[in-house]
Structure 1
């Protein structure tokens, strides 16, 4: 008898049979067991996909989930997406940034031009020059 996939042939009550290596089945161990189709064999959670491997499987997480079984909600703030001192708040599959007063935008990348506001932040006739994250006042001569 020929056994496939590294499975040994053994004698059982004077009959040659294949002793299938883990992950294979069939009379000659010719069939890979689909671990994703065996009831209760895989533990993928939160509607994750299951990809069969050789005597194992891999969970393919939907957006917003992570972990070996997609059991953990992903923390979008882990990558520090907020810039210029912005504070990140994690939400399911998204995040928001609370920006310091001198910055704006989804990730606090846009400098606020303080000189555009009325009244001017500079006093006594000084001219205002916007800088990144702040402004400068130049006194009139």
Structure 2
């Protein structure tokens, strides 16, 4: 034993045949040179994705837990809802190193921090509609000629009783203002294209000929 053959804290004992090493816990071999891999034995009780580490020089193992877990064997999912992070009576749902909030209507956001005013902040109303916060959410006051939840639909006034265009005239919606516009065919005028333009107005017939008005035309009775 004077040569101190025992390694890793082993205690040397002189024997009649030579020496014997009394090894520290976790080591074995003639001179205690071999570390016992307790993680490879039934002693490994680490769960999930935790990592087993031998306790050098003492009994047992240590479990190195992944983020979000704790406990001797990493068997406990840490309660990320412990601090009550959800606002406005939101319900916290614990995850693995995370949480989510179930928000009561009309609150939104990661922590239910966005209230009714949140809706109009996103400017949901289109085509010049004005957003108003309501207790149920928001309401869009649409510009004339538009409708829908977000004023996204143009009202086809030409398909309603508002279409008073006559003959072969074409009805066109007045976008953003009331009413329609009638696009008149050649030879007609008036708000509804109801007036046949007087082609005889300039008295085109000579020698006391009588002008007969047509549609974008005239003829003379001589």
Q: TM-score, normalised by structure 1?
A: 0.63
Task: Kindly state the Cα deviation for residue 43 of structure 1 after the two structures are TM-superposed.
Answer: 0.4
Describe the shift of the 1:85–1:31 C-alpha distance in structure 2 as closer, same or farther (beyond 3 A): same
Give the C-alpha shift of residue 23 in structure 1.
2.0
Instruction: After superposition, give the CA deviation of every residue in 1:12-65 in whole Å (9 maximum; x if it has no partner).
Output: 9934343434322333112322323x3x2x401122222222122122333322
What is the aligned partner in structure 2 of residue 95 from structure 1?
A: 138
Q: Which runs of 5+ in 1 are unaligned?
A: 118-126
Contact 1:25-1:32 within 8 A present in 2 as well: yes
Unaligned runs of 5+ in 2: 1-42, 166-170, 182-190, 197-222
Alpha-carbon RMSD across the aligned residues, in angstroms, is: 3.5
Larger radius of gyration: 2
User: Shift of the alpha carbon at 1:116?
Assistant: 5.2
Equivalent residues, number: 129
**Number of the residue aligned with 1:128:** 164
Q: Comparing 6-15 with 47-56, which one deviates more in the overlay? A: 6-15
Cα distance, 1:47–1:7 mapped onto 2, change above 3 Å: farther
> Comparing both chains, which one has the higher relative contact order based on Cα–Cα distances under 8 Å and sequence gaps of 6 or more?
1
Q: Answer yes or no: is the 8 Å Cα contact 1:77–1:88 preserved in 2.
A: yes
State the match for 1:122 in structure 2. none
Work out the CA distance in 1 between the residues paired with 2:64 and 2:56: 10
The answer to whether residue 87 in structure 2 is matched with residue 51 in structure 1 is no
1:14-93 equivalence runs, <5 A: 14-16=58-60, 17-36=62-81, 38=82, 40=83, 42-73=84-115, 75-78=118-121, 80-93=123-136
C-alpha change, 1:58 and 1:112, in structure 2 (3 Å) is same
Equivalent position SS for 1:73 = coil
Q: TM-score, structure 2 length as denominator?
A: 0.45
| Contact preservation (8 Å) 2:50, 2:63 | no
